[in-house]
Structure 1
């Protein structure tokens, strides 16, 4: 698999085509090559496809993509002018590392994800509450207006403050007007997350 960087040229169809042709010409002309054009932008897909067709290689290139609606891999058969489709079924789900590798990415050293669930009981309880009409919207508004304004660098639409600053913030108001957190959510917060109940946590709740 070749990585063809398009830094700054993702919308330039001619540059995309020139880059693709340049990389493809480095591959032995007797080898079969292919383009899997799932993802990227419409410009990338269209001009990469056009570039591959212009190569006039033998055997002809193979084109494929993932149909996300049906979860099938679609392969364009240029010889017979038809598209063959196969179920994209795996014996087990791919790992996050595999998905990243397919995009030529990897975890930052020392920044690997937490493998064990954190506050699992709270997550389950909140999922159940969010299934009830209107609850999800109330929670989002409270998060934006209370959490966002107090715990983000430049207000509700910016990035979170550094972790040391988050740890030093002691109180959050559950009755922040005009949004009041419903009693069932307050109960979950009290039982699972509040520092007055779970001493190792650093955030207290004010009703």
Structure 2
């Protein structure tokens, strides 16, 4: 197994949860397994047992979660059992019968039910079944020491229901439980095509480009050079309207004049040793620096991928201070015969933060990228997921307002041209706002 597929879960401080942990936890399984996975890690005593209550529709998810939990050695679970309701998810008698059959085999230990993942009908009947226990004289009484819980995604809290008092809210802090991105994809039955990138390429050059793109006049100057000078030499247009970068052999011969570029970029190219003595960008000289394994990768980099590397570097700069345990770029995810890619993503605690990037200032394109990222992030991370767009649009607030009208989700962030040069601070503020809204 490649090292990048090894998953680490960080349990930093779970003392608040200790007195609510149980020896036998019943979990109602839903479509999104992340809340179930969080509950399994926070509410079960080490070496004890889980019972996954599922229907025919969620059997596949239950089996997947069973395999994941049994392979997570850090949990040390004694057993993870499947309990099927088949197609009787709305049948009170069947739900009670299935749960009681299991309860009769439990002779000791504290019992709990986490009903985040189930339907309302499943939750109600499971709650009722576990709340009461049958006595020797065939009467029923309240079960002692049972723990009922659910995950509140809006406030990032595990709620403990109490019959005789207000519910207890336990904040799931970033250092309480941290889940890596690969694990979240795995919970959805998805395998990444390749290891995500964690090291930005040419971060200093990317920073200079970000500084240039903050000014609309200079960004136009860049695009004019890129399309009318560099691309004319390095790109091969085909008769059918499509095209591609030229072969590596041909690219090695490219010598591109730089006089139409902003001075900052010319100086940055020089610092990277990409420029000849007569001030031309040399792809042959670039190849000798070892910055890219393939010259075409550089062509794609300056075609817009540089922004993703710049954003990756900004996330990396604040990772330790912001308790970001896992981050990366270029998450290629196969979904139902299609291909989707998170440009940048990181996890903070069990939350996934997804960032879509584009150097475009076209409103329609920016909106499309943000909306797609929003849908995929919610699919991966549930209601807890957070999404941002980083683009060169001049009116990011109006774009955010438009998406808000469609989604009613105030947690979406849009960073435009004006935010590029202080992006680390902007992302940190976005995280802080997320924390404030969860209180």
TM superposition score normalised by structure 2: 0.26
TM superposition score normalised by structure 1: 0.50
Higher strand share: 2
Larger Rg: 2
Higher helix share: 2
